[in-house]
Amino acid sequence: MGRKYRDMKIGDTLYISIQRDDYKTSKYRCKLVDIFKDRIYIDYPISDETNKTVFLPKDLTFYVSYQNNQNVFKFSSYLIERKLTSIPTLVLYLPPVEEHIRIQRRKHVRVEAVVDLAVHCSEDTFPPFTTTTRDISGGGVSIIIKDRSFTKDILLNLSLVLKTEENNYDYIFTQARFIRYKQLNNGVAIASLQFINLDGEDQQRIISFCFKKEREQRKQESFLEKK
Is the same domain home to 142 and 218? yes
> What residues make up the domain containing 36?
4-103
Do 173 and 190 share a structural domain? Answer: yes
Q: How much is the pLDDT for 2? A: 39
Contacts 24+ apart (CB under 8 A), 130-134: 133/160, 134/188, 134/190
Q: Is residue 79 a contact partner of residue 56, using CB atoms and an 8 Å limit?
A: yes
Specify the pLDDT at position 207. 86
- Between CA 72 and CA 133 the distance in angstroms is 26
Q: Give SS3 for 212.
A: helix
> Do 77 and 168 lie in a common domain?
no
pLDDT of residue 45: 93
Residues 92 and 26 in one domain: yes
**Number of domains the chain is built from:** 2
Contacts with 31 (C-beta within 8 Å, 6 or more apart), sequence order? 11, 12, 13, 14, 42, 43
Residue 98 sits in a domain whose CATH number is: 2.30.110.10
Residues 88 and 117 in one domain: no
Does one domain contain both 89 and 151?
A: no
Model pLDDT, residue 4: 43
Domain stops at, among 81, 103, 125:
103
**pLDDT lower than 70: segments of the chain:** 1-6, 22-24, 69-70, 104-107, 165-166, 221-227
Last residue of a domain, one of 73, 103, 133: 103
Q: Are residues 97 and 129 in the same domain?
A: no
CA distances from 136 to 97, 117, 128, 144, 225 (A): 32, 12, 20, 12, 26
Q: Are residues 84 and 176 in the same domain?
A: no
User: At which of 103, 131, 165 does a domain end?
Assistant: 103
What phi and psi values does residue 8 have, to the nearest 5 degrees? -120, 155
Which CATH number do you get for residue 206? 2.40.10.220
Q: How far apart are CA 12 and CA 110, in angstroms?
A: 21
pLDDT recorded at residue 223: 53
